[in-house]
Amino acid sequence: MHCVSSPDSTSRCFLLAPSARDAVGFVCLAISDIVPRVPPNRYSKDRHPHDFYPTPSLCSRPLVEWLAANTSLDASDPWLDPAAGDGDLIATFRERWPGGFWYGIEIDRSHRRSLEAVANRILLADALEAEWPAANIAANPPFKLLDRFWSRMAEHRRTHGVWGACFTPVGYWQAQRRVHLVRPDVLLALAYRPRGFGNIRTGPFQDYVWAVLRPTPARETVWTRVERPALTLVSPPPSRGARSQTRG
Ligand SMILES: C[S@@+](CC[C@H](N)C(=O)[O-])C[C@H]1O[C@@H](n2cnc3c(N)ncnc32)[C@H](O)[C@@H]1O
């Protein structure tokens, strides 16, 4: 029997495994499956201190598709995610523009490895204090910091004439106390509700929009509904003689 523990002190657990090999398997299982990296839902008492909720491609693909169809942006344009987490949002952009140059800023150092795998340059710092490179912005910041991130994005657009996109709840824009905020140029309203963020189940509670800033402010805000993206299923070719797995 081997007693193993997670190296992460916040998610420490002990398991009994019959052999050293099994123990390794148990550690992987313990870290990725048994011990959640984040609380199971956003209403938990133990809410993640930095609000790490990975952006599902279900939510980010409509933004990328809209940008590809409605702007002249391409892989040569640099981008910044100032609240980058593990880089899920960046990864979705890379599906469309694989060669793009991405900066990622993240306050929580535990995301370093994952982020390095998708971003070209990373900064582990508080994005609200750090200097931002002259790049377009795509962000899904903690909602409790939305006012500050949005204002920073608007200031960045004014300085550099770049695009900005921020994921927000729909109701965010209705509040009277936010009338002073810079108005989005485009609201891309998701016509569906996500059921979770990464491994966090939330239930379909909220309606969301991508609030977009054009490089130059538009005279009016355009509201557009975007449909749920179709699932892309990649299946291996059927082996000879095997029965078809596809539904008729
Ligand atoms: C909702 S998650 C989004 C993560 C990522 N953008 C994605 O697409 O999966 C918000 C992220 O912002 C990070 N964060 C929170 N406050 C921050 C700050 N002041 N500066 C930089 N990152 C911050 C959190 O640690 C978390 O990883």
Domain ranges of the chain: 55-226
In sequence order, which ranges of 38-186 are alpha helices (DSSP H)?
A: 57-70, 88-96, 112-118, 146-160
Q: How confident is the model at residue 23 (pLDDT cuts 50, 70, 90)?
A: very low
In order, the DSSP letters of 146-213 are HHHHHHHHHHHHHHH---EEEEEEGGGGG-GGGTTSPPPSEEEEESS--SEETTEE--S---EEEEEE
pLDDT tens digits, one per residue of 185-197: 999 999 988 776 6
**pTM attached to this predicted model:** 0.77
Q: Which comes out higher in pLDDT, residue 31 or 159?
A: 159
C-alpha 145/C-alpha 193 separation (Å) is: 22
Q: Which comes out higher in pLDDT, residue 162 or 42?
A: 162
Say yes or no: CB of residue 140 within 6 Å of ligand 1: yes
Say yes or no: CB of residue 104 within 6 Å of ligand 1: no
Q: Taking a C-beta distance cutoff of 8 angstroms, is the pair 193, 204 a contact? A: yes
Q: Which comes out higher in pLDDT, residue 37 or 197?
A: 197
Question: 55-226: which CATH architecture?
Answer: 3-Layer(aba) Sandwich (3.40)
**Protein residue with least CA distance to atom 16, ligand 1:** 50
Q: Pick the range with the lowest mean pLDDT from 11-15, 30-34, 97-101, 195-199.
A: 11-15
CA of residue 143 to ligand 1 center, whole Å: 10
Judge whether residue 240 has pLDDT over 50.
no
Q: How confident is the model at residue 142 (pLDDT cuts 50, 70, 90)?
A: very high
- 75, amino acid identity: A
